[in-house]
Structure 1
Amino acid sequence: MPDFLQNSTTDLILCGNVLQVVPAWSFQKSKTLRRLDLSYNLLRIIDRGAFAGLVELTYLNLKTNKLTSNSLHEKIFQDLISLQYLAINDNLLNDEYTFLQAQISRVRSLVTLRIDLRGRDQIDKCLCNLSILQELQIWGLSGQTFSDNTFHHLKCLKIEIMSLDSVIYLAPDTFISFPMLKTLRIKIIPRLATYDIINSIFNSFKGFQR
């Protein structure tokens, strides 16, 4: 981590490097940071206390790294009391997905969350703690099938914006849990999609009928 940061630094963009570790107290000289982008690195370890003191941070991007469940410690995000945007998709966290969601659920200031959803994994009900979450971006396996069973624990939230990546099929009940949805982004995988993928998408919209 850079040791030349000033107390006045508010934005730190370190994406696209070969960083492998975020040491403890990496940002102790920059407690005014509001945006921190560590995406597209080779991060495998985030030390305990790595984000300590970043009480003004609103944006944290950890996507596309090598993070596993062993990379994350309990209460890893506890100091990030102002965090509104968290991206942690495209990592290697699917082995302990429940643990990851439990840590994310502690960040009650989150407005936007970007995560993976692998195979049979589901969104855990602990995310109901994110009472002001408005935008959910889901990156699935290539050829992901979605249904209401994927999201039924989120009926407690008022999601207004949703993005689904790597879609090959949507069940008719996919969006039943999101009556407040205003914006929907869907990216299909044509080479893997079922022949009636377009029909399945439009059928899934029936859940919005009142």
Structure 2
Amino acid sequence: MVSNKGLSLFIILLFIENSLQLCVSNSAITSCSQLTLIRNQPLSIANYKRYLEISGGTLEWIPARTFSKVSLITVLQLSRNKIKTLEEDSFSGLQDLTKLNLYDNKLEFVGKFFKECSKLEQLDLGMNKVATITNDAFHGLNSLVELNLGFNSLALVPEAVNSLPTLKELSLNNNNIQILPAKVFSNLKNLETLALNDNRIAQIYENAFGGLRNLKKLALNSNYVTDIDVDDTLQDLSALSLLNLNINSFSCRNLEKIVSKLNRKNVNVPMGTSKSRNSFHGISCTLN
């Protein structure tokens, strides 16, 4: 006869064991929580949906070939975990994957982890601690249209982004980028939106935006920019319709000249909110 104490302990242990790999599905999504991934034991889910969400904040790594038995998924949500480590074959077998969300984890390094995800259209690596991205990290992603690298620790624009000719939206906001070298985006012929706000950009080299002939929206607000060569910039950005310059280090004389010239070229510069006497177009500036 099992005592009440023994029965209670058995029930608790059973609950803990089952909670380690709890996956449930509705008509469109399979959601797993409190998941423990083990090397050489691929995730196996009966009747899984093509949208897979792994939540709960417990994942710290993705072993190689973890998803090889759920290879038909098209969306993989891994946001808001504690993932520090990916392996070269972490996403092996996911040839149909179109969206991968790794937002709000603890990644510091990005290598060639996505090489088999040739159909990937959206990749979110925002809100991590990424400081290094290898030059070949995005090779083979010939369908990618959206890439989020915002809220990381990048000191330079990664060379890897220039290997993504299909990209339409690139977010590099809230990093530690200080300079924009010449032709750093030269292969991004289809890019339409570029977010560089909230960095430390103080120097923009001539022809920095060379090749961005389809860019429509550019955010440079919240940086340390002192001057922009409008003629050089617009020669490269012939489709530009919006340029955000709020909160930078412009002199009032330079700012007025820049905004006036942009307006004459039909480029909208959003009004700032400064009420300081040292401002133009609502954007703070210095009298020097």
Taking structure 1 as the reference length, the TM-score comes to: 0.72
Match of 1:40 among 68, 73, 80: 80
Q: Which has the higher contact order (CA 8 A, sep 6+)?
A: 1
Distance 2:201 2:149 in 1: 19
1:56 CA displacement: 0.5
Instruction: Give 2:145's aligned residue.
Output: 111
Which secondary structure state, in structure 2, belongs to the residue aligned with residue 153 of structure 1? coil
**1:124-146: CA deviation from partner (whole Å, max 9, x where unpaired):** 1x53332211111113337x656
Instruction: Give 1:121's aligned residue.
Output: 156
1:182 CA displacement: 2.1
Distance 1:15 1:152 in 2: 39
Does 1:162 pair with 2:162? no
Does 1:49 pair with 2:81? no
Instruction: Give 1:76's aligned residue.
Output: 113
Which secondary structure state, in structure 2, belongs to the residue aligned with residue 128 of structure 1? helix
- Matched positions, count: 197
**1:1-57: CA deviation from partner (whole Å, max 9, x where unpaired):** 474524542111224522111122222221111111112211012234221111100
Does 1:91 pair with 2:91? no
CA contact (8 A) 1:85 1:112 kept: yes
1:171 CA displacement: 6.3
Percent sequence identity over aligned pairs? 23
CA RMSD of aligned residues (A): 3.7
Which sections of structure 1, spanning at least 5 residues, go unmatched? none
CA contact (8 A) 1:164 1:185 kept: yes
Distance 2:56 2:172 in 1: 22
The structure richer in strand per residue is: 1
Taking structure 2 as the reference length, the TM-score comes to: 0.55
Match of 2:100 among 53, 56, 60: 60
Which sections of structure 2, spanning at least 5 residues, go unmatched? 1-34, 37-42, 224-246, 267-288
1:187 CA displacement: 6.0
Match of 2:51 among 11, 26, 43: 11
Distance 1:195 1:78 in 2: 41
Distance 1:5 1:33 in 2: 11
Which secondary structure state, in structure 1, belongs to the residue aligned with residue 184 of structure 2? helix
Distance 2:106 2:77 in 1: 15
Distance 1:164 1:128 in 2: 15
Residues 196 and 129 of structure 1, relative CA distance in 2, 3 Å threshold: closer
